Structures are given as C-alpha cells and as structure tokens.
A = this chain, B = another copy of it.
C-alpha cells in the first residue's frame, strides 16, 4: 500500500510534458460531480475553471483585498502584461469573503487575517488550481509583520515558519485529534528572492525564521490589548528568546500556508515587510504614507521576481 501510494503520488506530480501538477491530498474531490468553491462564489458547474485559470503560473496572496488589487495593477503595468486603462474586475465579486484578480499568468488573492481565514482560502484556491489543471505554479504570500531587532521597513524572506513555541510545526485538530504537519518552504525560491532583492537594492532584506501566532495582541506579547497579564520584562524575555531562535518577524498566516502548499506540491515562499520593531514597541503608529510605502516593498520584490522568471526584467 505504501508503495502504491507513493507511485500514485509521483504519477500525479508531473504530466507527460514534465510539468509539475498541482495535486490534492484528497481522493474524494476527483469523484465529485460538482465542486462549489463557496467562499470564492465559483463552482465547477457554473464556471469554466480551465479556461479562466489554466494559464496561471504565479499566485500572490495577502491579507488585504485593496492591497491585492494594487498588486495586480502594479504587475500589469510593470511587466507590460496589461494595457493602459485596463480594469481588473474582482473575480469573486459574488462574495465579500475574499477578492481575486488576474492578469496574464499572475493571480492575486486576498486571504483576510489569521490561520483559519487563509486556510479556507487555500483549500479552495488549491482545488481551483487543480480543477483548472494548472502546472508549475509558484505561490508567494506578500504580507505585513512585526519585526524583531530589524529597522522598520525591512523585508523578511521566511526560511522556516515556526509556531509560538518556536517549533517548525503546524498543529491542528482533526476529528478531535491533534495532527502536526511540517512547515517546509522551498529553499531554492528563498535564494532566488534574495537575489531579486539584491538586483533592486532598494531596501534591506534578510532571510530569517517567521513566527506565526493565533493572536495579534496577547499571542505576540503585546502590552496594549484589551487583555494583558504579563509585564514588559516578560515580553522582552519572550521576544529576545524568539530572536535567539532565529526569528526575525511575527505574523499570523505563514505556518498553515507552508504546511498546505507543501502537502499539495506548490513551490511556496513568504515575503513580509516589518512595520515596526517589536523590541521597541507595540503600537503601529508610523504615518500612513510611511506604512503605505513599506507595504509596497514585498510587491516590488515579488514583481521583480515574476518579471525575471518571465524574461521581462
């Protein structure tokens, strides 16, 4: 059985042209007559997913829907994929759960905040790519984060996503039992992205571990939430221990993103800008323009990477 399973998996990994396929880790979906991707307001019976998405090679995901619209406009212009005056309608306009935009081989999708929100999106996105028979897909999360010991505005490319106990694991409860998955990311892609940042030479970029938490306030040791039962010293001890464990930033989606993409054969990376240095404070109080410019940095880095991959940069 183990051999048969491994064989079937290898068979699914590549098609006859040697292209890497998106695979599901669920045999049930292939047998379904219709698949409703409820939170996208799309379905295999009402939409021609291969025609709509079959050419997708790069998927970029981020928390905010307006940021993902900005991103698709940016890559369209920067890489000459769109024409002046082109509009990018929201493909998921039938729902307000997520927003999705596309230009050429690039898909841009919002995922809201936190592990559960991005997990729902990824389940449906991976099924969408599977139904559309996409090949050789690279997926990159472009997000915001709190830095540890970095100048605000620095960009972190994630080497390893770790949990709030600094372990490279994603734990979830399935049918009432704990299941632990690894949070591996593509090391080659990390190095490619780092080279792209070198090409640009516009902002500081480091490779480091990223801590993924289930809460923004107590879960990240902030002192300014509605609840807090520890001291400034407790917080500093925790953040310094995180730094010693190689953690350079904290966000709320990377662990499940790494675990799910790895399980389904997607080459994945996480690129986040740091909005503040958590060793120096908790509140995000920089002026709006400064924060807005910071948030463009992962977009510029990943836009350059896509352009280079397409031979346009």
Contacts and interface: CB of A to CB of B under 8 A. Distances in A.
Interface in A22-37: 24-29, 32, 34-36
Where chain A touches its partner, the secondary structure class is: loop
A221 B179 CA distance: 13
Assign chain A's interface to a size class. 35 or more
A244 interface: no
A230 interface: yes
A145 B229 CA distance: 32
B166 A225 contact: no
Interface string A69-92: 000000000000000000000000
A120 B216 contact: yes
Interface stretch (A52-60, A110-118, A182-190): A110-118
Contacts of A164: 173, 176
A200 interface: no
Given A116-B252, A214-B115, A224 B29 contact: yes
A126 B224 CA distance: 12
Nearest to A68: B96
Given A96-B64, A226-B264, A214 B127 contact: no
B226 A127 contact: yes
Nearest to A163: B173
A209 interface: no
A243 interface: no
A227 interface: yes
A260 B226 contact: yes
Given A36-B284, A114-B114, A116-B214, A122 B175 contact: no
B26 A227 contact: yes
A289 to B, nearest CB: 13
A235 B221 CA distance: 37
Given A113-B116, A172-B218, A234-B175, A226 B25 contact: yes
A116 B215 contact: yes
Nearest to A252: B116
Nearest to A29: B224
A206 interface: no
A223 interface: yes
Contacts of A225: 26, 123, 127
A160 interface: no
A20 interface: no
Given A24-B226, A28-B228, A119-B215, A221 B175 contact: yes
Interface in A93-142: 94, 96-97, 112-117, 119-120, 122-124, 126-127, 130
7 contacts: A28-B228, A94-B288, A113-B116, A116-B213, A123-B217, A123-B226, A126-B226
